[in-house]
Structure 1
Amino acid sequence: MKVNVVKAIQSDVPLYEDFVAQVYGQSDVDIRSRVEGWVTSVNFKEGSQVKKGQLLYTIDDIEYKNRLDRQASEVTQATTELVRAESELSRVKPLTELNALSKKDLDNAVAEYEAAKAHVAATKSSLENAKVELGYTRVLAPFDGLVGISNVREGDYVSRTGTSVLTTISSITGVRVRFEISEREYLRIAQQSMEDRESARNNVQLLLADGSVYGEMGTVDFANREIDPSTGTLTMEASFPNPDGLLRPGLFVKARILFSTYTGAVMIPQRAVVQLQHISQVYLVNASDSLKVTTIETGPKIGDAWIIKSGLKAGDRVAIIGSAGVSANSKIEVVEQKWPEENK
């Protein structure tokens, strides 16, 4: 009977782990109103790039301008009162020294002067606060980024005490990718050597939804301080450059991390392994093209291959039986099959 036969190969195999992950902007900032009023204009195109300091919204500012004018008037009045109190103090002080006026008169003049000075400081503070609030009627972009959909339109009323978000801006020149690892995976990483951990930290790939591999490598920045007791997982975050803006917040991806390299791994196709309960076997082809059943110990699966820990060596010929009706010690006609495919 004709049977396909492959040779066991040996090479160093990188061992990766894939984790479901989600993309976040380098900064994702909710834009909220810091004053109350009616939105008078929306000054950006939704989904576009905006620059730091660019005007996004204007809010009706008549009330805040009136408050500013009122505070400016109060500063003027307080300053005038300070000048009067200072003049009175200047008059009373020498007269007190000549005993023409009592010390009580001097104390009163000093108190009035200090009160007037404090009143000027308070009114100036209120004036500065009014200026700040007037500035808040113009909502500006806090940094360069990608602006989202506006949640308000011209004529809507906004409030500083509300929880509504006007819009969200994300900085996507670089992105953050968050994923979770299990307690078992965490312990495996924690017990690795410093060199292996550093290699894993700096070798993070992204698999996109279409199965393609993102062209930039990432680096793990941090792990959360605790294991989430409700899920038994540890949240980790990696950063990736995003020069072309391909990655956007909310995108689901897979984070692929190189945990270690299996040195000198012997591998055969998974389809060549026969599993019976907890026992793994292969059909070895000897020099006389007869089959011999051999028990093996399997390791991790890599693509369509299986790493063999023991029971095989590089160069051994293994039959791929499939549904062929052959048994141990059967004589076969060998059909050499190249494997893996890229070696054809």
Structure 2
Amino acid sequence: MSVLRNRSRSQRQWTHRTAGLAAAAWLGLTACTSSPEALPTPKPPAVTVVTVAQRAVPVYGQYVGQTEAVKTVEIRARVEGFLERQVVPDGADVKAGDILFVIDPRPFEATLRQTQANVARDTAQLHQTEAALIQREADMQQAQANLERDLAQLENARTQEGRYRTLLQKELIAHEQYDQIHTNMTALQATVQADRAAFENAKAALAVARAAIENARAVIRADEAAVDSAQIQLGYTTIRSPLDGRMGRAEVRVGSLVGRQDSTLLATLSTLDPMYVNFSVSEREALSVWRYRTAPTGPSGITMTLPDDSAYPHDGRLDFVDRAVDPRTGTLALRATFANPRRLLQPGQYMRLRILLDERAGAVVVPQAAVQESQGSASLFVVGPDRTVQARTVRMGPRFGPLWVVEEGVKPGEQVVIKGLQQVRAGMRVEPTVEPLPPAPGS
């Protein structure tokens, strides 16, 4: 019994000690939670801010343009024949004067030789005709001399006949003497008449010889023209590049008959440097383009983005403005020219162009890093003089390098958060660190 009493007493003592310890722990916990210095106040989050400023901001127009070769020519067969060779491969870069294709020249060489032989033959004929002309000229000169001689003799005979007739009338000479003189005169008259006929015949023969000369010369001129034509036709069998550029895929294969009924298209050739880019602007933007293009300062150039979103390394220049706005679309066609020394541009590509239209002085700008976009709206965190954060809905304008124009929502001199955006919310106090505004492009 004494053992049981001792065990019961020990259990009651352990229970009392346990209850005392629990009460002491509860009192200690109550004391800790009720003390104002038990949980320290958290520090405001550190953020980086910039001061909203004003800048002169260029206004650019963004357009989609399509490249076009400055010159594009169709290489066509100008004579009929079988294509003998394609000298350069498809897609090759060529220089002006390079041989592209060769048509079988043998028929044209034969034609040329034939025309040259005709020239030689007709030239020999001309020489013979010229010799005949010389003879006809000599014949006419001889006939003229004979006529002049016999005319002189006839005149003398007539004078003598007149004297003898007078003597006969006076019966100073016999009638037989007069008859002899008269017969001589009559014979000379017949001779002169024959001389005149011979002279006319010689003159006619000379005219015929001269006409033959002119005809022979005309034949030779025709022969020489035929030679020139044959040489031209032969030259057409060697087809050369008319310009520096790149040849496309050949449209015919070696061995094909080309130029039979029309000028067969062999290939197309385009220049690559420089390159045109055609684009259109709205009627309103057309006025801005024209005003700024004609301003004393003038635009710095047209920039272009390639299809892989990389910047094209050369600026372009505006070289064509169409004469009128298209009434169907309300747009004006423009054209820019870009240097293309590395052949990065190919005809028919679509590019994004940016052209300087105007410059806005005093535009309100913030870093793009300060702007939060969600469902078509934009907002900023503005830190007030008391370091309290305000959320502002803003209306944004064009981007300008690392900056963004704010059309409405903040004022110059206010501070906006650019770093630490994830750890702040409206109404929270922050610890701001001021950074300078990023520089504008070109400054």
Please, what TM-score do these two structures have when normalized by structure 1?
0.78
Q: Tell me, in whole angstroms, the C-alpha distance in 1 between the residues paired with 2:232 and 2:305.
A: 47
Across the aligned residues of Structure 1 and Structure 2, the Cα RMSD in angstroms comes to: 4.0
The amino acid across from 1:31 in the alignment is: I
SS, match of residue 66 in structure 1 = helix
Task: Tell me the alpha carbon deviations over residues 59-85 of structure 1, each in whole angstroms, 9 at most, x when there is no partner.
Answer: 122321222122222222322232233
Q: Aligned to 2:336, which of 224, 228, 238? A: 238
User: Which residue is 2:358 aligned to?
Assistant: 260
Q: Aligned to 2:429, which of 325, 333, 336? A: 333
Alpha-carbon distance, 1:297 to partner:
8.1
Pick closer, same or farther for the CA change 1:281–1:206 going to 2, 3 Å: closer
Q: Aligned to 2:63, which of 19, 42, 47? A: 19
Alpha-carbon distance, 1:160 to partner:
7.0
Q: Aligned to 1:153, which of 253, 270, 274? A: 253
User: Which residue is 2:294 aligned to?
Assistant: 194
Task: Tell me the alpha carbon deviations over residues 240-262 of structure 1, each in whole angstroms, 9 at most, x when there is no partner.
Answer: 22222222223321222122332
Indicate whether 1:55 and 2:99 are aligned. yes
State whether residues 5 and 335 of structure 1, in contact with CA within 8 Å, keep that contact through their aligned partners in structure 2: no
Alpha-carbon distance, 1:8 to partner:
2.2
User: Which residue is 1:176 aligned to?
Assistant: 276
Pick closer, same or farther for the CA change 1:223–1:297 going to 2, 3 Å: same
Pick closer, same or farther for the CA change 1:177–1:161 going to 2, 3 Å: farther
Q: Tell me, in whole angstroms, the C-alpha distance in 1 between the residues paired with 2:112 and 2:281.
A: 55
Task: Tell me the alpha carbon deviations over residues 22-46 of structure 1, each in whole angstroms, 9 at most, x when there is no partner.
Answer: 2233433221111111111212222
SS, match of residue 166 in structure 1 = strand
SS, match of residue 236 in structure 1 = strand
Pick closer, same or farther for the CA change 1:21–1:276 going to 2, 3 Å: closer
State whether residues 109 and 234 of structure 2, in contact with CA within 8 Å, keep that contact through their aligned partners in structure 1: yes
Worse overlay, 96-105 or 173-182: 96-105
Alpha-carbon distance, 1:227 to partner:
3.4
Q: Which protein has the bigger helix share?
A: 2
Worse overlay, 292-301 or 93-102: 292-301
State whether residues 115 and 227 of structure 2, in contact with CA within 8 Å, keep that contact through their aligned partners in structure 1: yes
State whether residues 33 and 160 of structure 1, in contact with CA within 8 Å, keep that contact through their aligned partners in structure 2: no
Pick closer, same or farther for the CA change 1:313–1:299 going to 2, 3 Å: same
Q: Tell me, in whole angstroms, the C-alpha distance in 2 between the residues paired with 1:273 and 1:30.
A: 53
Q: Aligned to 1:316, which of 392, 414, 439? A: 414
Please list, as runs of the form range in 1=range in 2, the aligned pairs for 1:266-285 lying within 5 A after superposition.
266-268=364-366, 271=371
Q: Aligned to 2:312, which of 193, 206, 214? A: 214
SS, match of residue 254 in structure 2 = coil
Alpha-carbon distance, 1:110 to partner:
2.5
Alpha-carbon distance, 1:181 to partner:
2.3
User: Which residue is 2:84 aligned to?
Assistant: 40
Pick closer, same or farther for the CA change 1:339–1:208 going to 2, 3 Å: farther
Q: Tell me, in whole angstroms, the C-alpha distance in 2 between the residues paired with 1:17 and 1:216.
A: 18
Which of these two proteins has the greater Rg computed from alpha carbons?
2
Pick closer, same or farther for the CA change 1:281–1:53 going to 2, 3 Å: closer
Alpha-carbon distance, 1:94 to partner:
4.3
Alpha-carbon distance, 1:203 to partner:
0.5
User: Which residue is 1:165 aligned to?
Assistant: 265
Pick closer, same or farther for the CA change 1:39–1:232 going to 2, 3 Å: farther
The amino acid across from 1:247 in the alignment is: L
Indicate whether 1:114 and 2:241 are aligned. no
Alpha-carbon distance, 1:57 to partner:
1.3
Indicate whether 1:224 and 2:268 are aligned. no
Alpha-carbon distance, 1:157 to partner:
2.0
Alpha-carbon distance, 1:126 to partner:
1.3
Alpha-carbon distance, 1:124 to partner:
0.4
The amino acid across from 1:24 in the alignment is: E
The amino acid across from 2:65 in the alignment is: A
Alpha-carbon distance, 1:167 to partner:
1.6
Pick closer, same or farther for the CA change 1:106–1:285 going to 2, 3 Å: same
The amino acid across from 2:274 in the alignment is: G
Q: Tell me, in whole angstroms, the C-alpha distance in 2 between the residues paired with 1:138 and 1:70.
A: 20
Alpha-carbon distance, 1:56 to partner:
1.7
User: Which residue is 2:133 aligned to?
Assistant: 89
Task: Tell me the alpha carbon deviations over residues 201-251 of structure 1, each in whole angstroms, 9 at most, x when there is no partner.
Answer: x51112101111111122222223343444443332222222222222233
State whether residues 296 and 310 of structure 1, in contact with CA within 8 Å, keep that contact through their aligned partners in structure 2: yes
Q: How many residues matched?
A: 335
Gaps of 5+ in 1: none
Alpha-carbon distance, 1:290 to partner:
6.3
Q: Which protein has the bigger strand share?
A: 1
Alpha-carbon distance, 1:139 to partner:
1.3
Indicate whether 1:128 and 2:223 are aligned. no
Gaps of 5+ in 2: 1-43, 145-195
State whether residues 32 and 160 of structure 1, in contact with CA within 8 Å, keep that contact through their aligned partners in structure 2: no
